[in-house]
Amino acid sequence: MATERRRRGSEAEQLAAEHLAARGWTVLARNVAIGRDEIDLLCVDPELPPELVFVEVRSLRSAAFGAPEERVDAAKVSRLYRSMAALRALGHLPDGAVLPSLPVRVDLLIVDGRGASIEVRHLERLMPP
Taking the domains of the chain in order of start, what are their residue ranges? 4-123
pLDDT band at 60 (very low <50, low <70, confident <90, very high): confident
Percent of the chain predicted with pLDDT > 70: 91
Q: Say which amino acid occupies 111.
A: V
Rounded to whole angstroms, how far apart are CA atoms 34 and 128? Answer: 18
Name the least confident of 2-6, 48-52, 85-89, 109-113: 2-6
Instruction: Tell me what pLDDT residue 67 has.
Output: 67
Does the structural domain 4-123 have CATH classification 3.40.50.150?
Answer: no
Residue 1 has pLDDT above 60, yes or no: no
Q: Give the mean model confidence (pLDDT) for residues 71-93.
A: 91
Is residue 69 scored above 80 in pLDDT? no
CA atoms within 13 A on the CB side of 97: 10
